[in-house]
Amino acid sequence: MDLYCNSNCFNIYLISFKWGIVKKEASSIKKNLNQNFTVIGPKAYIDSSRLKNNILSIKKSIGDRYLMLVIKANGYGHSALKIANILKSDNMLIFCTFSIGEALIIRKNGIKNKIFIFSKLQEEWLHLAQKHNIWVNASNLDDLVLLKRFFIKNNTCPKIHLKFDTGMTRLGFDWSDSQNVFDYILQNSFLPVEGIYSHFATADEGDLSFVKTQMERFNSILRNGGEKGVQFKYIHCSNSGAILNNYGKKFNTVRVGMLAYGIAPSDEVSMGIDVEPVMSFCGPIVNLRRVPKDTPISYGGKYSTKKETTIGVVQMGFADGVPRAWYENGYVAYNGKQYNIAGRICMDQFMVDFGDTKPKLGDEVLVFGKTKSDFIPVETIAKKIHTTTYVLLAAINGRTEYIIKEN
């Protein structure tokens, strides 16, 4: 949902506001009905102990370096605010969001850690970044001119990280233009430039040849800066894939996303760090019925029962992040066993073939994650339906209730 602000009608894209508004609506319903009730629907259980242990394992791997934790896209579907609240006591941890809106939600909920945003700089929200001590990135000369103008007008501006494009072909100064960038920084030395970074395009793949090319380009940028006397407190390129592929110790700062949540960034890297899945994505059984052989299930009747069986209805669907393509040969876990998904996944619900098992109404099935009795890696689903773990996790939203578990 977009939030439109001030007369310039700029868009501050608040991804996290979607679930915030849903919660407000649910709260309003409860108040109007003057009764307390639990909404039956998808649950994302966040294991705080696993999250903390994952961070410790990563810190052990990267040594004495600054750690930036990426919590954009609602914490990769894990709830950015809950992740930040679990880890806020680590005041050296730097949180990274994409939008100013995501950053403001974190800051306005009492999180005092440093926050850095990746999005393209916009003049309309620059004052908010300054007011709430949020770091910004400059990725072209226009950004630096804008920051200079803001500083001259306000005698201050947000702290800045320079982003260089070394091969992603996304945001960033061209790597070959670094000398001109540094000349501008030296001519405007009042600008609070604290960091410099780039982004690997193939660090989570088996072939690291292009990573080496990007590394050479980034090192040439740093050499140019050093020769001109430009110094940076934070230097970062490495992401989760780079850490696993032994490129995590090249500079003094590391950005980690998927790895912190206990998930492999791709199937081409080996998990050489001891981490566990932080989230268990579950849904409740809301209906059970016994049906005869050859009963068609769900839209299109693509699934037909092979014998008399028990069909359960789970109250969560693709609107909540259950991947629709997973219905073909897909399964859920329940009490230590796996059961086939029966037919196409609907927007709000899907069906499960429980055979002769007798589940209880209200019990939950595991879609993916790890519980005491069940384990379905999200990586397995991503591979089988030919997508990525990033796509699957970022799709979790809407009606999902986030619950912190402490073991």
Phi, psi at 365, each rounded to 5°: -100, 155
| Tens-level pLDDT at each residue, the chain (407 residues) | 333 344 343 344 443 444 454 445 545 544 554 557 778 999 999 999 999 999 999 999 999 999 999 999 999 999 999 999 999 999 999 999 999 999 999 999 999 999 999 999 999 999 999 999 999 999 999 999 999 999 999 999 999 999 999 999 999 999 999 999 999 999 999 999 999 999 999 999 999 999 999 999 999 999 999 999 999 999 999 999 999 998 878 899 999 999 999 999 999 998 999 999 999 999 999 999 999 999 999 999 999 999 999 999 999 999 999 999 999 999 999 999 999 999 999 999 999 999 999 999 999 999 999 999 999 999 999 999 999 999 999 999 879 999 999 87
User: Which helix (DSSP H) or strand (DSSP E) does residue 368 occupy?
Assistant: strand 364-370
Q: How far is CA 293 from CA 288, 303, 310, 330, 391, in A?
A: 16, 11, 11, 20, 36
Q: How far is CA 58 from CA 53, 244, 261, 262, 355, in A?
A: 9, 10, 11, 10, 42
Domains of the chain: 12-22+48-261 (3.20.20.10), 279-405 (2.40.37.10)
Query: Each residue of 4-53: pLDDT tens digit?
Result: 344 343 344 443 444 454 445 545 544 554 557 778 999 999 999 999 99
Between CA 27 and CA 21 the distance in angstroms is 10
Q: Which distant-in-sequence residues (6+ apart) come within 8 Å of 50 by Cβ?
A: 262, 275, 276, 277, 278, 407
The DSSP-derived string for 126-141 is HHHHHHTTEEEEE-SH
Name 45's bridge partners.
Answer: 280, 403
Q: Which distant-in-sequence residues (6+ apart) come within 8 Å of 357 by Cβ?
A: 310, 334, 337, 339
Name 256's bridge partners.
Answer: 69
Phi, psi at 116, each rounded to 5°: -125, 135
pTM over 0.75: yes
Between CA 342 and CA 327 the distance in angstroms is 7
